[in-house]
Amino acid sequence: MTLRDYLNAMPVVAILRGLSPDEAVDVAAVLVAAGIRIIEVPLNSPDPFVSINRIAVAHGDTCLVGAGTVLRAEDIDRVADAGGRLVVAPNFNVAVVSRARTLGMISAPGVQTPTEAFAALDAGADGLKLFPAEIIPPKAVRAMRAVLPTDTIVLAVGGIGADNMNAYRDAGVDGFGVGSSLYKPGMTIDDIGARARALVAEALSQPADA
């Protein structure tokens, strides 16, 4: 499946910053039960490669699992060895995108400007992570969307929650990366599940723009 296939099924990317390996499988299970199909473990989490591996083993057949905050190309091989297939970054680094592409992995680098966006696409990025979205208002997203190739996958990440999904969706994004409004270390499984179900309901309240 492609990145667009997963986003068409559910346009929410769960960003599990701070996740520990001991809770990885249980947290992933409640997200999957809510309908989420893309799970990202940032590399500045405790033992992230262990968590990625445990989630990939448990849910890799139905979910796109991988790493976030990937800043160095050499880390991508470790993500792949752990079973991850997704590489997300807060910035655009041509070496990171190139290595992900070489390994057949899906990459979504972070961008803020059209210059960064077109450079990332030229390097072979599968999608663009508009980050942090909270300083890129929907009006700016709409303007950028108008000049990007029509098939470009655009994700809004940073400050996204159920209260502002509609505005960004109307501006033309294809999906949402959701972090602290979905998961923080110390949350109970019941709380994570409730938050996941609320986000999924909001994400599906209208069709996302393709």
Cα separation, 129 vs 120, in Å, equals 10
Cα separation, 74 vs 185, in Å, equals 27
CB 4 within 8 Å of CB 174 = yes
Tally of helices (H runs) and strands (E runs) in the chain: 9, 9
Cα separation, 7 vs 13, in Å, equals 8
Tokens of 100: 């992900």
DSSP 208: P
Residue in 23, 40, 184, 202 annotated catalytic:
40
Is residue 139 part of the annotated active site? The answer reads: no
Is residue 40 part of the annotated active site? The answer reads: yes
Residue in 23, 74, 116, 129 annotated catalytic:
129
Cα separation, 110 vs 125, in Å, equals 10
Which amino acid belongs to residue 68?
G
Cα separation, 92 vs 73, in Å, equals 12
Catalytic sites, residue numbers: 40, 129
